């Protein structure tokens, strides 16, 4: 675009970049005899055609480059698909064997803990049982040795009989409790859990990032929306230091990425969200102006979201801009907000980027 020449109203020609680097009205840099309105000059039919032809050529080059990337794939797509699916099937097989070992180990460990608890209880019950048998034997001996003596007074005999009946009643209750406690113990294994969430334990298959995007086929201005699905987010949070970068997404001749990191602000952990860009083709100094809308989507209803906007110039020295305190981590995990999906263990961040200025290059 920078070497492209367009026609001025006076008939002279000028490099495209020399007019796009100027705003509004300015004096003609060639004949210096009149003022040029940038917008009107660029909208002249001949200039629109020249720019359109050049843009078509650039887009055709992009298309040819993309086609070359899949030439090998087109030759034998089944081979590549089979290779990709074989990898995930192998991962699933490995996960299954790992989970088998893990679950069996946990079951065995728990089984051993139950056996140890039972043995401790058995030893304690054995000691208690012998002590209570001694009490029963003592009571039985006392009852067998009891006799109603005619040598005692009537009142004494009545008192002795009543006392012995009370001891028998107490003994009957004691033996009944003994039978329930030791002879017919009420041991049982509690019911097994009804819900064993294999999916949560095993994990689901990730079929690739879901991206929603729109873009204008225009090298002068551009717009695009892309999504960064951050998986295993809770594990990243537990690591106490989050720093993640999405795969690059192309908007015209720039590659854009979403960057997230965590930091501490006033004893509160916050999540910063940024976007960074770089040219598709390496070049010298460059700059571009962009309007950025960052969105944190609700897990259960993507139509609901936290939205924050900013505008900034991006250049080679500072190609990343954003919001260091986009949201607190406490808010992300709040069930009332709905940003974190516990089942999938992920959050979804989108960036809508509108570049309103041309890429300016200094060779």
Q: Is residue 83 part of a domain?
A: no
**Predicted structure pTM score:** 0.42
Q: Is residue 302 part of a domain?
A: yes
Instruction: Report DSSP letters for 6-48, one per residue.
Output: EE-TTS-EEEHHHHHTS-SEEE-TTT-SSEEEHHHHHTSHHHH
Q: Is residue 205 part of a domain?
A: no
Sign of the dihedral through C-alpha 52, 257, 351, 312:
negative
342 and 261 together in one domain: yes
222 and 343 together in one domain: yes
20 and 143 together in one domain: no
Query: What are the structure tokens assigned to 283, written together?
Result: 């070049």
pLDDT in tens, 129-152: 888 888 888 888 888 887 777 777
The CA-based angle 328-288-284, given to 5 degrees, is: 120
Distance CA 257, CA 231 (A): 16
- 276 and 332 in contact (C-beta within 8 Å)? no
Percent of the chain with pLDDT over 70: 87
41 and 149 together in one domain: no
Q: Is residue 81 part of a domain?
A: no
Q: Is the pLDDT of residue 110 over 60?
A: yes
Confidence of residue 307 (pLDDT cuts 50, 70, 90): very high
- In 3D space, the residue among 200, 198, 261 whose CA is nearest the CA of residue 228 turns out to be 261
Q: Is residue 80 part of a domain?
A: no
pLDDT in tens, 29-62: 888 888 888 788 888 888 888 888 887 887 888 7
268 and 313 together in one domain: yes
- Which 3 state secondary structure label does DSSP give 1? coil
254 and 336 together in one domain: yes
Distant-in-sequence, close-in-space partners of 316: CB < 8 Å, separation ≥ 6? 284, 285, 286, 287
Distance CA 307, CA 296 (A): 7
28 and 127 together in one domain: no
- Looking at the 3D structure of the chain, how many domains does it have? 3
216 and 178 together in one domain: no
Q: Is residue 195 part of a domain?
A: no
Domain range spanning residue 314? 210-362
* Core vs surface per residue 121-148: b (16+ CB within 10 A) or e: eeeeeeeeeeebeeeeeebeeeeeeeee
- In 3D space, the residue among 29, 55, 25, 27 whose CA is nearest the CA of residue 40 turns out to be 25
In the listed set 69, 85, 109, which residue is the last one of a domain according to the structure?
Answer: 69
pLDDT in tens, 216-251: 333 445 889 999 999 889 888 887 788 999 999 998
267 and 346 together in one domain: yes
- CATH number of the domain to which 239 belongs: 2.60.210.10
Q: Is residue 78 part of a domain?
A: no
More reliable by pLDDT, 230 or 186: 230
61 and 126 together in one domain: no
More reliable by pLDDT, 77 or 293: 293
353 and 226 together in one domain: yes
Q: Is residue 288 part of a domain?
A: yes
217 and 357 together in one domain: yes
């Amino acid at each position: 675009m920078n070497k492209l020449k367009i026609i001025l109203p006076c008939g002279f020609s000028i490099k495209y970049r020399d007019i796009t680097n100027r705003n509004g009205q300015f004096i003609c840099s060639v004949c210096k005899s009149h003022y040029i309105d940038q917008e009107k000059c660029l909208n002249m039919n001949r200039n629109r055609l020249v720019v359109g032809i050049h843009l078509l050529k650039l887009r055709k080059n992009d298309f040819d480059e993309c086609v070359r990337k899949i030439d090998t794939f087109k030759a034998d797509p089944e081979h590549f698909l089979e290779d990709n699916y074989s990898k995930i099937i192998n991962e699933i097989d490995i996960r299954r064997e790992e989970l088998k070992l893990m679950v069996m180990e946990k079951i065995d460990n728990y089984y051993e803990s139950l056996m140890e608890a039972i043995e401790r209880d058995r030893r304690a019950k054995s000691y208690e049982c012998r002590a209570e048998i001694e009490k029963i034997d003592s009571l039985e001996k006392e009852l067998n040795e009891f006799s109603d003596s005619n040598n005692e007074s009537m009142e004494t005999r009545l008192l002795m009989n009543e006392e012995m009946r009370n001891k028998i009643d107490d003994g009957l209750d004691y033996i009944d409790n003994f039978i329930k406690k030791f002879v017919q113990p009420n041991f049982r294994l509690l019911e097994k859990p009804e819900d064993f969430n294999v999916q949560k334990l095993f994990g689901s298959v990730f079929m690739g990032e879901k991206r929603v995007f729109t873009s204008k086929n225009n090298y002068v201005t551009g717009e695009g929306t892309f999504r960064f699905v951050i998986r295993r987010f809770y594990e990243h949070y537990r690591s106490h230091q989050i720093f993640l970068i999405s795969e690059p997404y192309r908007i015209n001749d720039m590659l854009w990425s979403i960057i997230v990191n965590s930091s501490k602000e006033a004893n509160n952990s916050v999540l910063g969200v940024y976007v960074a860009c770089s040219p598709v083709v390496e070049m010298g100094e460059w700059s571009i102006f962009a309007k950025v809308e960052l969105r944190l989507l609700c897990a259960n209803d993507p139509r609901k979201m936290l939205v924050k906007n900013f505008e900034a110039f991006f250049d080679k020295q500072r190609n990343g801009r954003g919001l260091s305190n986009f949201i607190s981590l406490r808010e992300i995990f709040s069930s009332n907000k709905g940003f974190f999906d516990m089942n999938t263990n992920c959050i979804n961040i989108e960036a809508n980027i509108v570049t309103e200025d041309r890429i300016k290059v200094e060779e």
